[in-house]
Amino acid sequence: MHASIRFALGAASALLIGCAAASAEPQPTPVAGNGLAHPQTWPKYHYPVPRDPAVEAKIAGLLKRMTLEEKVGQLVQADLCCVKPEDLKTYHLGSILVGGNSGPNGNDFSPAPDWLKAADDFYLASVDKSDGGVGIPEIWGIDAVHGHANIIGATVFPHNIGLGAMRDPALIERIGAATAQEVRVTGQEWTFAPTVTVPQDYRWGRAYEGYSSDPKLVASYVGAMIRGLQGPPDRPNLLARDKVIASTKHYLADGGTKNGVDQGDAQISEAELRDIHGLPYGPAIENGVATVMVSFSSWQGRKMTGNQSLVTGVLKNQMGFGGFTVSDWNAHGQVEGCTNDSCPQALTAGIDMYMAPDSWKPIYNDLLTRAKAGTIPLARIDEAVSDILRVKFRLGVFTAGKPSDRPLSGDWKVLGSPEHRAIARQAVRESLVLLKNQGVLPLKPGGRLLVAGEGADDVSRASGGWTITWQGTGLTNAMFPGSTTLWKGLEQAVTAAGGSAQLSPDGSFSQKPDAAIVVFGEKPYAEFQGDRATLALDGDLTGPYATMKKLKAQGIPVVAVMITGRPLEVNPALNAADAFVVAWLPGSEGAGLADVLIGNAAGKPRYDFSGKLPAAWPKTPSMADGALYPFGYGLTYASPHTPWKAVPEIAEDARDARIYFAKGVPAASWSLVLGNIDRADEKRITTVPADAIGGRARITAADAQVQEGARRVQVSDGGAALAVSSHDPINVSRETNGDVLVLFTVKVDKAPAGAAVALRCDGSGCGARAPVVLPANGKYVRYGLPLKCFAAKGADMTKVTAPFILETTGAADYSLAEVRLGSDAEQVLPCG
């Protein structure tokens, strides 16, 4: 026992030294363990929020007067999707939230005043005492994780990974303060931020929500962000000022899961858990963070939400956290032995408030029934209620009046104010990391500048996930009033100095420019949908490499600007461009880019680069091959211009596990099969041209994007089914829950009389189909059908053998280019 702890500590300190460089693979050797922590081996901290005897007396008084129903209600948080203000009168819920995809009146795009109106409606219902109850005000939580970015018109700050590059805790505090003010304008009291995750594998789709892979860097920011949001820990009545309560998340080791899988399992030692992932909770507690959100993920196979040793033993008892804990979105349903509707285990483990978005009513009823039956101790309920009430007293919600009566409420000019945008612009400037400069930067403003790349004039692309919508998709520039795209900022800087600028996404031009900036990189994604199998930039996003090469070949100096949530292998761009700048996910104030890239009239920099890599940059799509640039790397204008040594360009064979059919061929372990709808006469297509179904169908190669990038199917009449299938069933249940679509890119030249998209699973009769309409328009369209459609029709998503089957009747002529899972459909089809 003693020896094993010593060994574990040794391993952890080695990891701490090396971990700045580690970001994906090699995974630490799995550690055997049962997921039970030893709290006495964890540090103790001081929670600095004073206990006020007068407040304690009020809490005790309330506990005496509250019915069991009122107490249980405090423990439950419902999402706006699924709760009405009247419900708060009946169920006395302690809190409401808006998840990434909800908003007032069922509208994610609701204008700001509607949010304040909704805040009043829910508050007033919660304090209604007409039933003789105590009327405890609810509090409203929201993911203001990079500014109040759920709301149209708010300042969108860079995502945390960019802030990590800044190394500027003082600016972090100002960002926190500005965010708190904007949240207060629309009447919410609580942000589910900061995320203090310490990602160790950047294939994780939430890696950008973390400041850095280095626990010390993360820890150096946490206190500043919490002070910015909440103010000093000893100043109560946050609502009388311009503050909100914060939530550090996700406790614990959300960024330590094996292979970077979202909601996965951290198979690490207790020492790594404590010294890497636990480190940022020290400053969080010492700055009085009001709430902690417990992670969906597991440690050593045990779900955090049910882990009493870590939630109560370590966080509350040993580390001294004195606020309340909240679980994540239906995370209680994943605890061993629980469902979304019932999970007393979470309360026992130390969860004080259940985030039960759509499951709040069953959870409330279940807790109440158990409390009445005496199978959950009343003392634990009283304790959780007291912790929640104590935070509510500190917040000042009992005396603040209704949301619209509080300071800053409805002060619309504060939302996206010039002052806040200036802070965000500074953050953009400071977060830029320069990886290469062969002397082309800074650009002289007097000349002719070409700006290429689809992302250059797109705020949504620059903002990433958790922006207005959950995944940050489906947005246009019009939804960001007051913002400045990267392109606009560049254009303004250049024209102000007498030069000219042209925006040309594909890089074509009428007059040869003096220099070109090519913006490229990732498209928005959020939790789970952003998980990748490798650190390669998605194949469909590498088009701008050719633009860079083409411009360079014409003698035009090229600056590559990468929008990205994580370090990725982009060696062709690094080789092709004369300068390479990582902009991360800069948000709404794109002018910060021009501040640094465009020099003054004398050709001297106006601002220097100061950003440093918050995580190592990979040499290949696998971190196992080492870092091309280490943690902390970043050039400045003072750096010497050393000759560029080309980095190896890797053949693009690192396949994404969620691609089943690409460029006209099935991915490894998949087959293309053509047969009758009833599966008679099925034939595996290995070469083309080929005939199938007794000569009724012919399959040939067709061009799409690349030569022969598709398979063309011509059916003379009758029924036909083209399937992408495998003998080894795959489990896509998590994808189904995560709102992922099956995407298929097809060009229809002759529309069939009838069509359906089907999915098949292992077992006789297992599967489901959705009728679809695919008009013949002669061009490739990437259609998407939600996996949920098939689940709803009874398919077993845990053992899918064919994720895509196109069934047609009558004569048909179509070409299939790609089948994969994802969210970026050009057209989402109804479930039928």
Stretch that binds ligand BGC, among 95-103, 118-126, 567-575, 700-708 (CB under 6 A): 95-103
Q: Which of 28, 94, 100, 199 binds ligand BGC (CB under 6 A)?
A: 100
Q: Cα dist. 189→136, 241, 464, 518, 601 in Å?
A: 15, 12, 24, 41, 47
- For residues 329 and 393, which CB has a smaller minimum distance to ligand BGC in the complex? 329
Nearest-angstrom CA–CA distance, 697 and 718: 10
Q: Which of 25, 70, 138, 143 binds ligand BGC (CB under 6 A)?
A: 143
The site map against ligand BGC for 327-346 (x = CB under 6 A) is -xx-----------------
Stretch that binds ligand BGC, among 94-102, 222-230, 602-610, 617-625 (CB under 6 A): 94-102
In the window 362-391, what residues touch ligand BGC (CB under 6 A)? none
Told to check if 192 binds ligand BGC by CB under 6 A, we report yes
Q: Is 214 a catalytic residue?
A: no
Token pair 């708190």 in the structure block, residue: 180
In the window 789-828, what residues touch ligand BGC (CB under 6 A)? none
Nearest-angstrom CA–CA distance, 332 and 588: 35
The number of angstroms, rounded, from the C-alpha of 696 to the middle of its chain's C-alpha atoms is 47
- For residues 356 and 388, which CB has a smaller minimum distance to ligand BGC in the complex? 356
Query: Is-contact 288 49, C-beta < 8 A?
Result: yes
Neighbours of 514 (CB within 10 A): 15
As measured in angstroms, the least distance from the Cβ of 727 to ligand BGC is 31
As measured in angstroms, the least distance from the Cβ of 296 to ligand BGC is 6
Query: Is-contact 693 676, C-beta < 8 A?
Result: yes
Stretch that binds ligand BGC, among 100-108, 332-340, 424-432, 690-698 (CB under 6 A): 100-108
- For residues 181 and 327, which CB has a smaller minimum distance to ligand BGC in the complex? 327
As measured in angstroms, the least distance from the Cβ of 333 to ligand BGC is 11
* SS3 of residue 461 by DSSP: helix
- For residues 77 and 534, which CB has a smaller minimum distance to ligand BGC in the complex? 77
- For residues 194 and 521, which CB has a smaller minimum distance to ligand BGC in the complex? 194
**85 residue type, one letter:** P
The site map against ligand BGC for 407-446 (x = CB under 6 A) is ----------------------------------------
In the chain the first and final C-alpha atoms are separated, in Å, by: 60
Told to check if 99 binds ligand BGC by CB under 6 A, we report yes
How many residues are recorded in the chain?
832
Nearest-angstrom CA–CA distance, 600 and 775: 54
The site map against ligand BGC for 225-254 (x = CB under 6 A) is ------------------------x-----
- For residues 349 and 381, which CB has a smaller minimum distance to ligand BGC in the complex? 349
Nearest-angstrom CA–CA distance, 536 and 820: 17
As measured in angstroms, the least distance from the Cβ of 278 to ligand BGC is 18
- For residues 291 and 312, which CB has a smaller minimum distance to ligand BGC in the complex? 291
Q: Which of 41, 101, 369, 700 binds ligand BGC (CB under 6 A)?
A: 101
The site map against ligand BGC for 716-755 (x = CB under 6 A) is ----------------------x-----------------
Q: Is 328 a catalytic residue?
A: yes
Stretch that binds ligand BGC, among 55-63, 97-105, 264-272, 417-425 (CB under 6 A): 97-105
Q: Is the peptide bond before 252 cis (omega within 30 degrees of 0)?
A: yes
As measured in angstroms, the least distance from the Cβ of 326 to ligand BGC is 9
In 725-822, alpha helices (H): 733-737, 787-792
- For residues 469 and 483, which CB has a smaller minimum distance to ligand BGC in the complex? 469
In the window 12-51, what residues touch ligand BGC (CB under 6 A)? none
Longest dimension (CA), the chain: 87
Neighbours of 297 (CB within 10 A): 27
Token pair for 790: 């098939």
Nearest of 799, 809, 805 to residue 766 by alpha carbon: 799
Residues sharing a CB contact under 8 Å with residue 246, sequence separation 6 or more, in sequence order: 176, 190, 191, 193, 194, 225, 226, 229, 230, 289, 290, 291
503 exposure class (CB count in 10 Å sphere: 0-12, 13-18, 19+): middle
Stretch that binds ligand BGC, among 96-104, 236-244, 534-542, 595-603 (CB under 6 A): 96-104
> Which of the following is catalytic: 138, 352, 430, 527?
527
799 exposure class (CB count in 10 Å sphere: 0-12, 13-18, 19+): middle
Question: Quick one: CA torsion of 56, 59, 64, 65, rounded to 10 degrees?
Answer: 150
Total site size for ligand BGC, rule CB under 6 A? 13
> Which of the following is catalytic: 138, 143, 201, 328?
328
The residue number with the shortest CB distance to ligand BGC is: 99
Q: Which of 189, 201, 430, 527 binds ligand BGC (CB under 6 A)?
A: 527
- For residues 277 and 747, which CB has a smaller minimum distance to ligand BGC in the complex? 277
As measured in angstroms, the least distance from the Cβ of 525 to ligand BGC is 13
Nearest-angstrom CA–CA distance, 48 and 44: 13
As measured in angstroms, the least distance from the Cβ of 143 to ligand BGC is 5
Strands in 265-266's sheet, in edge-to-edge order, are 265-266, 298-299, 302-303
113 exposure class (CB count in 10 Å sphere: 0-12, 13-18, 19+): middle
Q: Cα dist. 379→310, 391, 464 in Å?
A: 20, 19, 44
As measured in angstroms, the least distance from the Cβ of 99 to ligand BGC is 3
As measured in angstroms, the least distance from the Cβ of 315 to ligand BGC is 17
**396 residue type, one letter:** G
Told to check if 189 binds ligand BGC by CB under 6 A, we report no
Q: Cα dist. 469→80, 181, 254, 750 in Å?
A: 14, 21, 22, 37
As measured in angstroms, the least distance from the Cβ of 209 to ligand BGC is 8
As measured in angstroms, the least distance from the Cβ of 335 to ligand BGC is 15
User: CA-based angle 362:368:370, to the nearest 5?
Assistant: 100
As measured in angstroms, the least distance from the Cβ of 250 to ligand BGC is 6
In the window 454-483, what residues touch ligand BGC (CB under 6 A)? 470
- For residues 333 and 572, which CB has a smaller minimum distance to ligand BGC in the complex? 333
- For residues 11 and 97, which CB has a smaller minimum distance to ligand BGC in the complex? 97
Q: Cα dist. 789→227, 667, 669 in Å?
A: 45, 24, 25
Enumerate the active-site residues. 328, 527
Residues that bind ligand BGC (CB under 6 A): 97, 99-102, 143, 192, 249, 328-329, 470, 527, 738
